[in-house]
Amino acid sequence: MAKPDRLWGCGVLTNDANGVNLKAVFQTTGTIRSVSENTIWTYEVLTRPDGSVTAAAMGYDNQNGDVIA
């Protein structure tokens, strides 16, 4: 993935006994298989007290507004 064009926001969602849950939202533009895309990503990561990490991301949008993800 290329460097994000714009970081919209980031922060700590929770910090409790389950771990630290972080969220970042950013935008990228470019092409996927020759189709222009403008993607707004939402990325969340949970770091648990035992050191394990779980993460999820979503968001693809092509030039026609079709959602790919």
25-48 pLDDT, tens digit each: 888 888 878 878 777 888 899 999
Q: How far apart are CA 19 and CA 12, in angstroms?
A: 11
pTM of the model: 0.60
Q: What is the reported pLDDT for 41?
A: 82
Q: What is the mean pLDDT of residues 4-10?
A: 73
Q: How far apart are CA 47 and CA 56, in angstroms?
A: 12
Q: How far apart are CA 10 and CA 66, in angstroms?
A: 26
Q: What is the reported pLDDT for 68?
A: 59
Q: How far apart are CA 69 and CA 66, in angstroms?
A: 9
- Residues 35, 59, 3, 51, CA torsion sign: negative
